Amino acid sequence: MLGRKWDTVHEGRDGWLFLTGGSNRVMDRYARGLVGGLRHWWHLRGWARLMEARAARAGRLGIRCLHVIVPEKLSVYENHTRDLPYDPAQASTRRLARRLAGKPYYLDLLSPFRAARDGPVPLYLRTDTHWTIEGCLLAYREIMRALAAVPPADIAERPDYAEERVLDLGEKLPHQPTERLRRPQIQRDAVRVETGTLLAAYEAAGRAKDLHVGAHVVYRNEAAPDPRRLVLFGDSCAHFAPILLTGYLAESFAEVHFVWSSSLDWGYVERVRPDILLFELAERFLARLPADDFDVRAGHRAGGRPVPTEAAPAVS
């Protein structure tokens, strides 16, 4: 039965669903014991060294580098699980926070998320792996504080719309529960001024929702309160559409480049020469240590996917 074993989805209390399996082997992010614990430690050691090396390389270019790992729901809301045999104290985000405490290139989100988890509004959707508007705003404010930036005064008051939907964890269950999904309409001053080749092709084919890794956009904001340029390598918690973290940042900084990738493209960074290099990644994707061999122009890692053929004629 789902919720009684380490399956893809764990059914917790009060309708809360948690990702426990999948290709990223989510439960490995909580490994303990002689073999699993040592493998977990060694893997996070690799991440810590990678972050340090990235920050040093960025520093030589005069760029501030900051890494943000978005905690899994399991790391924050173990009180909503039901008899799940795991130890949230072993979470990768908790271990990284201890290892990298005081390092200017790492921002701990787990502590503020756990501190706010019992607030009036959940930080994550109950039937989805992603954060709510409130969770995203909390992370955004922490990032802005770490970057010594001031959010627009009305950023939390932007309108939103809601719809009842079956979300990513709900659709994995036989009864497919629905949930009210709220999306903020953040964009007001920022304008998308550049669209990567791969995203343009998917949009022309009407398939933008199918694109993940390789999506690339640039937003410019002449009314931004912060004049700095920011390059963000991230995932669906940021997104190329201005509906989550990328949207909030685009309303805050003069220029924001978003690239959907856990692997950096240093050639791109050197061409853009941003003031800030921000890296965002969901905790489960720590499963793979990137080689930083991404090619923004091609829209993929070395040897990655091509532009879809049905959209190719629409691309100049």
Q: What is the pLDDT of residues 92-141, one digit of tens each?
A: 999 999 999 999 999 999 999 999 999 999 999 999 999 999 999 999 99
Task: Return the percentage of the chain with pLDDT > 70, whole number.
Answer: 92
Residue 180 contacts residue 167 (beta carbons within 8 Å): no
Strands 300-301 and 106-107: unpaired
Q: One-letter amino acid identity for 133?
A: I
**pLDDT for res 35:** 64
**Cα gap 112→277, rounded to integer Å:** 22
Give the pLDDT confidence score for residue 3 in this predicted structure.
38
Terminal alpha carbon distance of the chain: 51
Q: Supply the pLDDT for residue 7.
A: 73
Q: Which residues are paired to 300 by β-bridges?
A: 295
Q: Give dist(CA 132, CA 138) in Å, integer.
A: 10
Higher pLDDT, 229 or 3: 229
**For the whole model, what pTM was predicted?**
0.90
Going by pLDDT thresholds of 50, 70 and 90, the confidence category of residue 276 is very high
Neighbouring C-alpha atoms within 13 Å toward the C-beta of 274: 24
161-174: average pLDDT: 93
Contact 201, 232 (CB under 8 A): no
pLDDT at position 242, please? 93
- Short-list 79, 174, 184, CA closest to 132: 184
Q: Using a pLDDT cut of 90, give the percent of the chain over it.
A: 84
pLDDT above 60: residue 305:
no
pLDDT per residue over 189-237, tens digit each? Answer: 999 999 999 999 999 999 988 899 999 999 999 999 999 999 999 999 9
Q: How many CA atoms lie within 13 A of 23 on its CB side?
A: 2
DSSP annotation of 22: T
> How much is the pLDDT for 307?
45
| Nearest-angstrom CA–CA distance, 274 and 259 | 14
Taking only the tens place, the pLDDT of each residue in 31-76 is 887 667 888 999 999 999 999 999 999 999 999 999 999 999 999 9
∠ CA 233-236-238 to the nearest 5 degrees? 55
